Chains A and B, each alone.
Chain A
Amino acid sequence: MKRININIAIAILLASVVLSCNPLDLDQIDDPNNPSVSSVTNNASKEQIQFLLTGLESRHRGYVTNISQAWNTFGRETWYLNASDPRFQTDWLGQAGRVPDRSYFGFGNTGGGSWAAPYQAIKQADVLVTSAENASVLTDAERRAVSGFAKMIQGFQFMIPANFVYQNGIRIDVKDPLNPGPFVGYEAAMDHVKSLLDQADQELSSAGTGNFPFRLTPGFSGFNTVEGIRQVNKAITARANAYRADWQGVLTALDGSFINLTGNLNAGPSHPYNGPPDAFNPLFYVPNAAINTIVVVHPSVLDDATPGDLRVARKFLQRTTAVTITTDATPLVGTHQDARWASNTTPIPFIKNEELILLKAEAHANLNQTAQAVEAINIIRSAAGIGVYSGSTAQAALIDEILYQRRYSLWAEPWGHRWIDARRYNKLNEIPTSYDQGTIFTQFPHPQAELSWDQYVGN
């Protein structure tokens, strides 16, 4: 019996060790890898606001890769040749009569870089504005600077989904993730863009003067004052007003922008790409690399070029070996690649002086201010080394000339200018499909996830 008692004693001892550690007690486990959103929405520090603002710059470039590859293909500025996945050819070129569906290749259920990504930037801007409003350490001027910057980015970003689905319309009331507002038409969407950009201007106008109170990336170098950001905002407003066909509005906005008729055509803010831990410039390809996934110049752009156009020489590199893609549809051959980027850390501009001058030309042409239109066109033509404009000054001819110059001045910018421009002027049928037997899309349907959400909540 003594032995039993010893054993019981040992068992009790072990049991008490067990219980003293209390194996049933669990620690609270917080996210070991990231701060939480709730940590910034209430009384954030200035440093936290700075991180959110830089985060907004990061979200602001989320569209670049997808739009550059896809929209520029839709407008036949480029082909995105990809031997690893033929759908970049077959689906994006609309070969064999393919038309976009709600979860089209390259866009998924969420619309990817053409829908979800710009809305993520819009969300980020909302969180930034709310956090700044609730951050008592900020001065009122700082708060307005942050808010103005955020709304400028929102205005820019809303144009992306709006142009993606065009007449299908977009949601503009998107603050509450569980209660998004209805879809509104393209015009209402663009009016919302205008309204945001006007609010941004208002906020920035009372955000003091001098240096922007938070650090901006080198993408805004030359613009990192409150006044500089206002100029960028006005430039974006000019683009938006052109889409709204508010031609006087374009000119007014240009007045407050960084337009410079005698200055560097490439001046403007950009998305920086520094390489790790930052991203690489996604549009850069090593010259003449023996690869078969590459953006190439669409043959129509080469065929339509004016002899001696310096833009052709500067932007297109004729490859020593053409890239050939054989899929079950028509084989595609790319002879030229994009030469705009010196390296994989070259920044990518998102609006530049050259576009502003072209917007000025377009606005004047639409307002039948022919002389001013030709004057602006000639700035572009001279810079391209193709002499002054000598064609008809009828409005239609001028518009055609401006659209032609835009094809080369704004070639393959991460915006799909030609696709949008051709649609604006009902000229989608002028985009050639003979090179690839494809289809020119007008617009996309809403991504499946939007439809699914409406089904989920019972609309």
Chain B
Amino acid sequence: MRKIYKFPLILALLMIVSGVSMAQYTVTGVVKDDRRGEPLLGANILVRNTTRGTITDLEGRFTISFDNNQSAVLVISSLGFLSQTFAVSPSNNNLQVSLIEDATSLEEVVITGLASSVKRSNLANAVSSVSSKDLMGTTTVQTTDGALYGKVAGATIRSNGGAPGGGISIQLRGISSLSGASQPLIILDGVYINNSFQRSGRATVSGAGGANQDDGANRLADLNPSDIESIEVLKGPSAAAIYGTRANAGVIIITTKRGAEGKTKVSFSQDIGFAQPLRLLGVDDWSEEKINFFFPEARRPVELERFRQGTKIDYEDYFYNNTALLSNSRITISGGTDKTKFFVSGNINTEDGTVRKTGFDRYSIRTNIDHKISDKIKLGVSSNYIKSNTDRGFTGNQNNSGASIGYSIAYVPNYFDLRPDANGIYPVNPYFSENPIAVTDNAVNNSEVNRFIQAFNLDIDLLKTNTSFLKASFAGGLDFLQNSTLVYLPEFLQFQRGQANPGDAFWGKQESFNTNFQAALVYNWNLGKVNMNSQAGLVRLDFKNSSLFTRGRGLTPGQRNLQQATVQEINEQFNSEIQEAGVFLQQEANFDDKIIGTVGIRWDKSTLNGNPNEFYAFPRASLAVNIANFDFWNSTVVNQLKPRIAYGETAGPVAFGSTFTPLGGANIGGLLGSVVSTQIGNTQIRPETAKELEFGVDVGFFRNRVSLEATYYIKTTQNNIQSLNLAPSTGVNTTPSNEAELENKGFEFGLSGNVIDKSNFRWFSRVLYWQNRVNLTRLGIPTYIAGAFGSGLGTFLYAQGYAPTTIVGSPADPSNPGGFTFWGNAQPKFNLSFYNTVSIARNLELSFLLDWRQGGDNINLTSFLTDGGGTTNGWFDDDDGDGIPNGRQRPPAPFNNAGRWVQDASFMKVREIGLYYTIPKTAITNTFGSSVENIKIGASANNVFLFTKYKGYDPETSTFGAQSVANNVDIAPYPTPRRIFFHLTVDF
């Protein structure tokens, strides 16, 4: 991006030269890179508070002329460098400028509004930015959200398990909603994209329960992370207010790469790697003594015989400890002219899973084009087609069907051989209802997504004077997603043979179509020394979803077509449509980069609300003061000091259908009936609203070599939606209510900078620390417990004055609200991440990222299962020597309560390590001639090491997927893989 092609540069110079004769005085100067002392080409020179400017030439020189004799201020900037300002006058017209590298990203432009962006150094909010280098520079991560770990202060990111193809939830600044998943809004190049966890039907077929136990992937997985130029994270209402109704849980703004003017660049990258489980626990060995203890008397002879004859098989190792091949191929072609720029990328990602017959393939094509229709009209389009094909296998919860590896092998002793015999016949598993090897080898859990995302933006300069401009800006796009799913259990499986109609094929088709459109007028003008930016606009959003799930049971052998089924069933058909509209106004004022203030307001209405025509208002205001930019400031140590404060309001949407009191369809005895729903609609329902006050300070030290960012926030939500339980004796169970209120308070701290900054050795380091405390300040309905698997195994308390993440369970304790014993809290005490990158010479770069989560408890029901089956590693040990093995005596005493399964899930992970070598230019030229520009090779790893006392595959796990609460329940998950890669990138 820093390279600017010669030809237009010369043109620009010619234009400047031709203007000289008009000038009353001329300023000339040279701009250099401070560290290397080399001239900077293409640096921008702008006359402050005007639209006039120029750029530097190959030798870093520039000339700019003025048609009067008044002094002026020049702002000199270059991408990746800190800008500097200089007063110039007829007597001060020669500048020697040394620009310092922007180690702490102060110059980065941050998208903050619907039609505006602001320089980080002027920002009044703690907006986190993640650049493409931060995101994917260290290692290749499968999904975009997985690449955000440890890179965003205030973000609690949780992986639901290790299955290939994603499944990650993000909570920004705690819990904003009790009912939904409290996931941020994701906007990709201006398009509101679908990031839902879609149903696959696995939990239906396996008997686990609702779709939240499908272990589905969230659809951000479709996006090729390498296409991303930057991600901005608006963490709360104070920053996200202008996004209105859908911004309660924050907004993640993703911007993809675009072409730059100049020679066409072709870049090819290939990553090859392998994955192995990050952590396995081992299984318990058996002895005759243990068999005699464990099995009922009648069963012992057959077990002893099996034990004496059997070979020992570590089933955990057998199922999980496989080496998976990973491959990621990318090609990008970018370039353009002054008028038209393009960026084209293609990506083929084929990754196996560590469980056999699982994997994730993604094929993505992107074309981003920018075109100047005229000097005044700019059109940008971004098109992305994606096909994702995911096989996630059978893990997690199940009921009766045995269609879960971990659940089944919890009950299988290592002396029984489940493997097929020479004829391919799988033995009947006498310890559970299914042979998991047969399931792994023959069952299908596939999701195939076809997706098209199209964005456009059209900017029209309506008016441009020396000191102001008026611009009309139109933007929008669509996201069309079709997901075809199949869960298939063939008829010859053990459990299927035990069914009246053996063989189960569960087909799903889901389509979602989101469109959004916005139109805005932006007027930039000056009021004295204050630069004013005024915006007004409107927004329109439409969301359509439809799903059809069908099921066939009693299948013709080997067949999975529904018409080959004895019993054909429409399992679910569901359609929804949502329309929303909003209007916004925003005024920004910038006094000389010294005081920057913003006020704005958005009004939104939605068909989800009880009154679809009522506008809800979301105001915001913020103020940042750059004290170091005032003339009186002359510290050499602290060169930036910016206290800032911001306030904003947002909302969270009502769930579709909350206003309806439907009559459901019920078939019985060949007739169709209409049944009164157990939910009464609430026609008064309002969106959940949030208010956030955030304040903090940004400090830059030693010419911004080191920067410190500290933020405190108080986010309160009102009208939180939860189901009000009615007396079930009235025949209806629930109605949605707007009663609850939550408070999240937290602290975010970031320290980053170049520890060593020499011309051939640089060490950049960054520490992020954050913590959040959530409190249910008002419940409004009677105290209740909900979530997970009930009080006997640990559940969650919803009581005023308590965090909804509080884990309670048996034994009953009437003195506590909710009536049970307190056992833990899912909320982490704090998170800390530590990132380092060392560059040696210009060729070698070493980076690593450490991620530490302290505190936060899980409900570990995998232990519950393996203890039940006698297979937990160390089950038959007897620590207290009382003759009762550990597996029957998990503390705390009296060994029968829910506290046995609540475990501290603190961990430290080495998330990413990368080592890259860029082959010296001379070596390339000698070998390949001039056709190859650049070659980079490297090796990296993702999820490299895990340090934890937690007794599971990974403290990060959620059998219920993404939820605001109860997202920490561990049931036989897919073990998290450790991924090792080798990289090659060639630029032509």
Partners in one complex: yes
Q: Does A219 contact B (CB under 8 A)?
A: yes
Q: From B166-174, B567-575, B749-757, B936-944, give the one contacting chain A.
A: B567-575
**Contact between chains at B731 and A126 (CB < 8 Å):** yes
With A27-B579, A110-B733 in contact, is A10–B673 under 8 Å at CB? no
With A84-B399, A123-B676, A448-B784 in contact, is A23–B517 under 8 Å at CB? yes
Contacts of A293 in B (CB 8 A): 399-400, 433
Find the residue from B463, B664, B727, B791 having the highest chain A CB count within 10 A: B727
Q: Does A274 contact B (CB under 8 A)?
A: yes
Pick from B429, B461, B551, B867: contact of A7, CB under 8 Å: B461
Instruction: Name the residue on B nearest A287 (C-beta).
Output: B498
Contacts of B607 in A (CB 8 A): 26-29
Query: A325 to nearest B CB, angstroms?
Result: 10
Q: Does A52 contact B (CB under 8 A)?
A: yes
Size class of the contact patch on chain A: 35 or more
Query: B383 to nearest A CB, angstroms?
Result: 21
Q: From A34-42, A240-248, A399-407, give the one contacting chain B.
A: A34-42
Q: From A260-268, A327-335, A350-358, A409-417, give the one contacting chain B.
A: A327-335
Find the residue from B474, B538, B725 having the highest chain A CB count within 10 A: B725
**Contact between chains at A33 and B729 (CB < 8 Å):** no
Q: Does B428 contact A (CB under 8 A)?
A: yes
Query: A313 to nearest B CB, angstroms?
Result: 22
Q: What is the 8 Å Cβ interface bit string for chain A, positions 95-109, against chain B (1 contact, 0 not)?
A: 010000101010011
Q: What is the 8 Å Cβ interface bit string for chain A, positions 1-30, against chain B (1 contact, 0 not)?
A: 001100110110011001000011111110
**Contact between chains at B295 and A326 (CB < 8 Å):** yes
Contacts of A424 in B (CB 8 A): none
With A37-B677, A453-B727 in contact, is A84–B207 under 8 Å at CB? yes
Contacts of B497 in A (CB 8 A): 289-290
CA of A392 to CA of B570, assembled, Å: 58
CA of A109 to CA of B790, assembled, Å: 10
Contacts of A55 in B (CB 8 A): 663, 666, 673-676
CA of A54 to CA of B792, assembled, Å: 38
Pick from B498, B579, B613, B673: contact of A57, CB under 8 Å: B673
CA of A146 to CA of B332, assembled, Å: 71
Instruction: Name the residue on B nearest A61 (C-beta).
Output: B668
CA of A96 to CA of B676, assembled, Å: 40
Q: What is the 8 Å Cβ interface bit string for chain B, positions 286-312, against chain A (1 contact, 0 not)?
A: 000000001110110000000000000
Q: What is the 8 Å Cβ interface bit string for chain A, positions 75-108, against chain B (1 contact, 0 not)?
A: 0000000111111000100001000010101001
Q: From A113-121, A193-201, A364-372, A428-436, give the one contacting chain B.
A: A113-121
Contacts of B283 in A (CB 8 A): none
CA of A275 to CA of B733, assembled, Å: 27
**Contact between chains at A331 and B498 (CB < 8 Å):** no
Q: Does A316 contact B (CB under 8 A)?
A: no
CA of A101 to CA of B178, assembled, Å: 26
Q: Does A421 contact B (CB under 8 A)?
A: no
Q: Does B278 contact A (CB under 8 A)?
A: no
Contacts of A277 in B (CB 8 A): 569-570, 667
**Contact between chains at A36 and B661 (CB < 8 Å):** yes
Find the residue from B664, B669, B792 having the highest chain A CB count within 10 A: B669
Q: Does A324 contact B (CB under 8 A)?
A: yes
With A82-B400, A326-B294 in contact, is A110–B433 under 8 Å at CB? no
With A176-B730, A286-B498 in contact, is A32–B460 under 8 Å at CB? no
Q: Does B577 contact A (CB under 8 A)?
A: yes
**Beta-carbon contacts under 8 Å, A371-406 to B:** none
With A26-B580, A40-B663, A178-B726 in contact, is A54–B672 under 8 Å at CB? yes
With A52-B673, A54-B673, A55-B674 in contact, is A180–B727 under 8 Å at CB? yes
**Contact between chains at B730 and A123 (CB < 8 Å):** yes
Pick from B472, B498, B663, B896: contact of A36, CB under 8 Å: B663
With A24-B583, A87-B792, A116-B733 in contact, is A291–B376 under 8 Å at CB? no
**Contact between chains at B576 and A32 (CB < 8 Å):** yes
Q: Does B1 contact A (CB under 8 A)?
A: no
Query: A412 to nearest B CB, angstroms?
Result: 19
Contacts of A108 in B (CB 8 A): 790
Q: What is the 8 Å Cβ interface bit string for chain A, positions 339-365, against chain B (1 contact, 0 not)?
A: 000011000000000000000000000
Instruction: Name the residue on B nearest A330 (C-beta).
Output: B296
Contacts of A134 in B (CB 8 A): none
Contacts of B558 in A (CB 8 A): none
**Contact between chains at A177 and B812 (CB < 8 Å):** no
Q: Does B702 contact A (CB under 8 A)?
A: no
**Beta-carbon contacts under 8 Å, A405-459 to B:** 447-456
Query: A50 to nearest B CB, angstroms?
Result: 8
**Beta-carbon contacts under 8 Å, A251-290 to B:** 272, 274-280, 284-286, 289-290
Q: Does B79 contact A (CB under 8 A)?
A: no
**Contact between chains at B668 and A58 (CB < 8 Å):** yes
CA of A176 to CA of B731, assembled, Å: 10
Q: Does A137 contact B (CB under 8 A)?
A: no
**Beta-carbon contacts under 8 Å, B417-447 to A:** 428-430, 432-433
Contacts of A91 in B (CB 8 A): 792
Instruction: Name the residue on A nearest B890 (C-beta).
Output: A328
Size class of the contact patch on chain B: 35 or more
Q: What is the 8 Å Cβ interface bit string for chain A, positions 192-219, against chain B (1 contact, 0 not)?
A: 0000000000000000000000010111
Contacts of A96 in B (CB 8 A): 896
CA of A177 to CA of B294, assembled, Å: 51
With A8-B462, A35-B662 in contact, is A57–B678 under 8 Å at CB? no
CA of A278 to CA of B666, assembled, Å: 7
Pick from A34, A54, A116, A272: contact of B664, CB under 8 Å: A34
Contacts of A84 in B (CB 8 A): 207, 398-400, 407, 433
Query: B819 to nearest A CB, angstroms?
Result: 8
Pick from B460, B577, B670: contact of A10, CB under 8 Å: B460
Instruction: Name the residue on A nearest B411 (C-beta).
Output: A83
Q: Does A56 contact B (CB under 8 A)?
A: yes
With A7-B377, A57-B668 in contact, is A28–B612 under 8 Å at CB? yes
Contacts of B727 in A (CB 8 A): 171, 174, 177, 180, 449-450, 453-454
Q: Does B671 contact A (CB under 8 A)?
A: yes
Query: B275 to nearest A CB, angstroms?
Result: 30
With A31-B662, A115-B729, A449-B728 in contact, is A217–B669 under 8 Å at CB? yes
CA of A126 to CA of B675, assembled, Å: 12
Query: A163 to nearest B CB, angstroms?
Result: 14
**Contact between chains at B377 and A455 (CB < 8 Å):** no
Contacts of B551 in A (CB 8 A): 276
**Contact between chains at A33 and B728 (CB < 8 Å):** no
CA of A292 to CA of B430, assembled, Å: 9
CA of A385 to CA of B430, assembled, Å: 37
**Beta-carbon contacts under 8 Å, B579-608 to A:** 579-581, 583, 605-607
**Contact between chains at A217 and B576 (CB < 8 Å):** no
Instruction: Name the residue on B nearest A123 (C-beta).
Output: B731
CA of A31 to CA of B663, assembled, Å: 10
Q: Does B500 contact A (CB under 8 A)?
A: yes
**Contact between chains at B296 and A331 (CB < 8 Å):** yes
Contacts of A56 in B (CB 8 A): 673
* Shortest 6 CB-CB contacts between residues of A and residues of B: A123-B731, A217-B669, A289-B498, A54-B673, A276-B569, A55-B673
Q: Residues on B close to A: CB < 8 A? A: 207, 294-296, 298-299, 374-377, 398-400, 407, 411, 428-430, 432-433, 458, 460-463, 472, 474, 494-495, 497-501, 517, 519, 538-540, 551, 567-570, 573-581, 583, 605-607, 612-613, 657, 660-678, 680, 724-733, 781-786, 790-792, 812, 867-870, 888, 896
**11 pairs, CB–CB < 8 Å, chain A vs chain B:** A23-B540, A51-B672, A55-B674, A84-B433, A124-B675, A174-B727, A176-B730, A276-B568, A289-B498, A322-B298, A449-B726
Q: Residues on A close to B: CB < 8 A? A: 3-4, 7-8, 10-11, 14-15, 18, 23-29, 31-40, 48, 51-59, 61, 82-87, 91, 96, 101, 103, 105, 108-111, 115-116, 119-124, 126-127, 161, 170-171, 174-178, 180, 215, 217-219, 272, 274-280, 284-286, 289-293, 321-322, 324, 326-328, 331, 333, 343-344, 447-456
